[in-house]
C-alpha cells in the first residue's frame, strides 16, 4: 500500500508543486492550507508522514507539530517542517517541538523526496524484533514502547532509534558521524549538530528516572552508552 502524506502549506504554488511531485513518486497525498484544515484530514485518515509549513495563517505549523506530538495517535508520525526561515534558532525550535527533519525553502523536490523516503523507511515497523532490556530500560521495537523502571517514556521516532542504537552498541564510543550513518541513514543533508539536539531530547526524556546518566558525552569523540 502506498504511504499517505499530508501536506500543510498555505502558498498554493508550493502546495501544488509538492502534491504533483509526491503523487508522481507514488504517494497518496492529502493537502491542507491551514492547521485547522489539516486537522480534518488527520481525523479522517492518519497519514504516514506530515509535511508542515512553519508560517500558516491562524494556528502555526509549530503549534500543530506540538499538538501532533501530544496525541497518542500521532505521537510517532514523522514530521518534516518546511520553512523560509534559515536561522539556526528557528531550526532548533523546530526540532524541539518534535520535528524529524527540516527543509528550508526554496528546496529541491528531489532532495525533499530523498528525505521523505529515508524518514518513511526508518519509521516502518520492524516486527518480530525482540525487546531489549538494559540497566532498567526496556525497549520494545514492535510496539515502539520504552519503559524506564516500568514507567513509559515518550520518545519521537528519531530518539527511539537513537536509544535502540545505543542499547545495541553499549560500552562503545559512537561518533556523531557513526550515529548519523546508523540512526539517520541518508544524512547527506543533516548537520552533525542535529545529533546533539536529539541527544539532549533523549536525555530529557530519560531524566525523570535518572537514566539520562547512561548516555555519556565523550569529549572530542561523541557519545557512549554505559550501562551501570
Ligand atoms: Ca506559509
Asked if 97 and 8 sit in the same domain, the reply is yes
Asked if 157 and 99 sit in the same domain, the reply is no
Asked if 147 and 105 sit in the same domain, the reply is no
Final residue in a domain of this structure, among 97, 123, 149: 123
Final residue in a domain of this structure, among 92, 123, 154: 123
Cβ contacts of 63 within 8 Å, gap of 6 or more: 35
Measured distance CA(93)–CA(55) in Å, rounded: 13
Asked if 82 and 136 sit in the same domain, the reply is no
Domain count along the chain:
2
Comparing 84-88, 108-112, 220-224, which segment has the lowest mean pLDDT?
84-88
CA of 18 to the centre of ligand 1 (A): 13
Asked if 44 and 103 sit in the same domain, the reply is yes
C-alpha cell at 133: 532490556
What is the residue-averaged pLDDT of the chain?
Answer: 87
Q: Are 109 and 17 in contact (CB under 8 A)?
A: yes
CA of 85 to the centre of ligand 1 (A): 11
Cis amide prior to 53 (ω within 30 degrees): no
The half-sphere exposure of 22 on its side-chain side, counting CA atoms within 13 A, is: 25
Asked if 70 and 31 sit in the same domain, the reply is yes
Asked if 96 and 167 sit in the same domain, the reply is no
Partnered with residue 222 across adjacent β-strands are: 218
CA of 54 to the centre of ligand 1 (A): 6
Asked if 18 and 75 sit in the same domain, the reply is yes
pLDDT in tens, 54-107: 889 999 998 999 999 888 778 888 999 998 766 667 777 777 778 888 888 888
Partnered with residue 13 across adjacent β-strands are: none
Asked if 83 and 167 sit in the same domain, the reply is no
Final residue in a domain of this structure, among 101, 123, 145: 123
Comparing 44-53, 85-94, 131-140, 172-181, which segment has the lowest mean pLDDT?
85-94
CATH number, domain with residue 109? 3.40.50.2300
Tell me the mean pLDDT in the region 32-45.
92
Query: What residues sit around ligand 1, an ion, with C-beta below 5 angstroms?
Result: 10, 53, 55
Asked if 84 and 164 sit in the same domain, the reply is no
CATH number, domain with residue 192? 1.10.10.10
Q: Which helix (H) or strand (E) holds 134?
A: strand 132-134
SS3 category, 154: coil
| Domain coverage including residue 18 | 4-123
Asked if 18 and 95 sit in the same domain, the reply is yes
- pTM across the whole model: 0.60
Q: Are 139 and 148 in contact (CB under 8 A)?
A: no
Asked if 77 and 146 sit in the same domain, the reply is no
Q: What percent of the chain has pLDDT over 70?
A: 93
Closest CA to 53 of 111, 114, 9, 118: 9
CA of 55 to the centre of ligand 1 (A): 4
Q: Residue 41 has what pLDDT?
A: 92
CA of 104 to the centre of ligand 1 (A): 12
Amino acid at each position: 500500500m502506498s504511504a499517505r502524506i499530508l501536506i500543510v502549506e498555505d502558498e498554493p504554488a508550493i502546495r501544488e508543486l509538492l502534491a504533483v511531485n509526491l503523487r508522481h513518486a507514488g504517494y497518496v497525498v492529502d493537502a491542507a492550507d491551514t492547521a485547522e484544515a489539516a486537522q480534518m484530514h488527520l481525523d479522517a485518515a492518519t497519514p504516514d508522514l506530515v509535511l508542515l509549513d512553519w508560517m500558516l495563517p491562524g494556528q502555526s505549523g509549530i503549534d500543530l507539530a506540538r499538538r501532533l506530538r501530544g496525541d497518542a495517535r500521532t505521537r510517532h508520525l514523522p514530521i518534516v517542517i518546511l520553512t523560509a526561515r534559515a536561522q539556526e534558532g528557528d531550526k532548533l525550535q523546530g526540532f524541539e517541538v518534535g520535528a524529524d527533519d527540516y527543509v528550508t525553502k526554496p528546496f529541491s523536490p528531489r532532495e525533499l523526496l530523498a528525505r521523505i523516503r529515508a524518514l518513511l523507511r526508518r519509521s516502518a515497523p520492524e516486527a518480530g524484533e525482540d525487546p531489549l532490556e538494559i540497566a532498567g530500560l526496556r525497549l520494545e521495537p514492535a510496539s515502539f514502547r520504552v519503559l524506564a523502571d516500568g514507567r513509559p517514556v515518550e520518545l519521537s521516532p528519531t530518539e527511539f532509534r537513537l536509544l535502540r542504537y545505543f542499547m545495541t552498541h553499549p560500552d562503545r564510543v559512537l561518533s556523531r558521524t557513526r550515529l548519523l550513518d546508523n540512526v539517520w541513514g541518508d544524512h547527506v543533508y543533516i548537520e552533525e549538530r542535529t545529533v546533539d539536539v536529539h541527544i539532549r531530547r533523549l536525555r530529557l526524556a530519560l531524566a525523570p528516572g535518572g537514566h539520562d546518566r547512561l548516555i555519556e558525552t565523550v569529549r572530542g569523540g561523541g557519545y557512549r552508552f554505559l550501562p551501570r
